[in-house]
Amino acid sequence: MCGIAGYIVKSDRYRTDRELLKKMTDSMIHRGPDAEGQWTDGRVALGHRRLSIIDLDVQSNQPLFSHDEKYVIVFNGEIYNYIELKQELIERGAVFKTKSDTEVIMEAYRAYGAACFNRFNGMWAFALYDREKQVLILSRDRFGIKPLYTVDNEDVFTFASESKAITAAFPDENVPNETYIHRYLSYSVNEDTDGECFYKNVKVFSPAHYMIYDLQKHTKEYKRYWEVDEQRFYDKWIRGKNVVRAFKELFESAVELRLRADVEVGACLSGGLDSSAIVGCASKKFGRKMHTFSSVYTDKECNEEMYIRKVNEKWNTIPHYIKPDDYEDNFTKYVEDLTYHHDQPTGGASIYSQYMVMKGVQGNVKVVLDGQGADELFAGYIPYYSFYVEDLMNKNSFLAKCRAIRMLVIVKKEWPEESGCFSTNKIVSLVGLKNSFLFQNDGQAQGLKVKRKTKLFTDEFLDKVHDDYQDRSIKCASALNTKLCNDVLIRSIPALLHNEDGNSMAFSIESRVPFLDYRIVEFAIALDGKYKIRNQWTKWIIRKACKEYLPKEIARRKNKMGFPAPFDRWLREGSSRDEIREIIYAFGGRNIVPGETIDQYYKAHINREADFSSILFRFYSMELWLRRCDKVKITGQAGEVS
């Protein structure tokens, strides 16, 4: 896990400059405190910050050259199956000078060309330069676990693991993107696959793509190397197999691969099904004595300590309990810090909890496993029931329709506060029970009343918004799998992975996500909904396949929290409430959201008319990010030819 940066000079206005490149890499020292390197060659500049995880020897520092110096690479991430690939390449005659997975990338590209990307099981963003052909190849992993940003203008093409590396060297790119701010404040988006981000000219390099930049012609060619194919995935992973056994084997393999490291590996543990299964598998199957790291609050609605302790006791782990409440007096300072590391306002207060957990990891281990992705792959949230019910109602079967009605009753009984998730779904009309007790949702009326009275944006700000977002939704065979697939690839997981990377790398920690092993993702996309939701059980196949790794209290949990934070209470009575209030109201002076709108939301929350902590946090976080943008001084560009 590292930080990469670089640029290609396209005009006479710039030159390749090690100092400019160092400015980019220095801005990401947290991503790689163990080593640094810069290399320039005519019109190409490549820079690197290293966090040493595999092959700790200095010979694996980057930029790394191939044995014949034809290729040079800067790489962020891990190729978990590098040992198997290396043996395969040696049998084909490849020569290696290090024990690193980085060198495997270069030799795999030499042997297979762009076809090598589909051979990689891992997370990555890298730039590989072919010095003979004068071609630069950028590539990002299938799901965007590792970040990559670019700017392309008439003078330079530049890229980096973080936007701040680009704005550090090219401060003219420190321009907020009104369209993306509009999206964020409207519905809390903070990463998407249409390439937009919070900086107007900075683009997000698309997951599952590679780019070939020809320096002689100054042409770019983008290509997708992986895409959804339900039938192929089904034939590959499911057809003719016992699906529970098949999933268990894939899960165990994914965990085993992610335990590969030349440093100690720990795990984040929330007390939920997914992280508990990872800890149990690593402990029982692979005999690891795991360090675990958990967030614990005093608030009942945010406290999962009982479940966390069950896992730690069962597997005799080395537990670390982080109490974010202890740091609440400095809440704004830590949110300012995480805003810096994320290069953007953040989606919600729960990100603070994860940030503090990663702070607790620092100094104990350099790598942690995390359960990210399982909910979106295997229907871990109650609203997913509505899509599965829709699938059942669409079947030409009286029995299936009876099962659908039964599931609606179960949801109303088990999770009455969640039953409103069905009210806007088209299955309501299919079932024909719109006005029945199943769809009464008493808890939202107050909040909706307040929202309808408010004007969220000023007219002046809306004039700057030009949102031509194109719907890139993926269609699968069922409503449930369509929803899950889009949440994994477009709507939910990209933002969560951004948070995972930002929080972990802030403390020089590598975070690995076994459930986003591409084999598990392909398996899940092709898996029938009945293995995901069964009666009152979400993520049924995980519960079934991993039961030996789970305390029974967790295997049978029906609720979930994740990494919550009591921001709603902190707004009213926390020790930082006055400071938070000042920042929220200061945002009203930005001429983005009317001050009276902010006042209405804030007072309604304080007076307990409704819970508006989510949108108030967005106002708060946006103001902190804009203050950071204000501090970047545009003084000219260090690499410009004078």
Identify the CA nearest to 26 among candidates 642, 625, 638, 627: 638
Burial (CB count within 10 angstroms: exposed 0-12, middle 13-18, buried 19+), residue 415: middle
Number of Cβ within 10 Å of residue 394's Cβ equals: 15
Which two three-digit tokens encode residue 536? Answer: 């009152």
Cross-strand bridge partners of residue 2: 50
| Residue keyed to tokens 């982080």 | 322
Identify the CA nearest to 634 among candidates 315, 151, 168: 168
Q: In terms of residues, how long is the chain? A: 642
Per-residue buried b or exposed e for 197-220, using 16+ beta carbons within 10 Å of the residue's own CB: bbbebbbbbbbbbbbbbebeeeee
Q: What is the torsion angle, in degrees rounded to the nearest 10, for the CA atoms of residue 453, residue 458, residue 459 and residue 460? A: 180
3-class DSSP assignment, residue 5:
strand
| Residue keyed to tokens 């005659």 | 93
Nearest-angstrom CA–CA distance, 505 and 205: 19
- Give backbone dihedrals phi and psi of 217, rounded to 5 degrees, phi first: -100, -15
Nearest-angstrom CA–CA distance, 191 and 431: 35
Identify the CA nearest to 200 among candidates 169, 177, 174, 168: 177
Residues 6+ apart with CB under 8 A from 156: 7, 8, 9, 10, 11, 14, 170, 639
Catalytic residue among 2, 116, 302, 421: 2
Q: Are strands 203-204 and 135-140 parallel, antiparallel or unpaired?
A: unpaired
3-class DSSP assignment, residue 553:
helix
Provide Rg for the chain, Cα atoms: 25
**Cα 56 to the center of its chain, rounded Å:** 27
C-alpha neighbours within 13 Å on the C-beta side of residue 621: 30
Active site residue 2: yes
- Give backbone dihedrals phi and psi of 230, rounded to 5 degrees, phi first: -55, -45
Nearest-angstrom CA–CA distance, 447 and 624: 26
Nearest-angstrom CA–CA distance, 26 and 33: 10
Determine contact, residues 196/177, Cβ cutoff 8 Å.
Answer: yes
Catalytic residues: 2
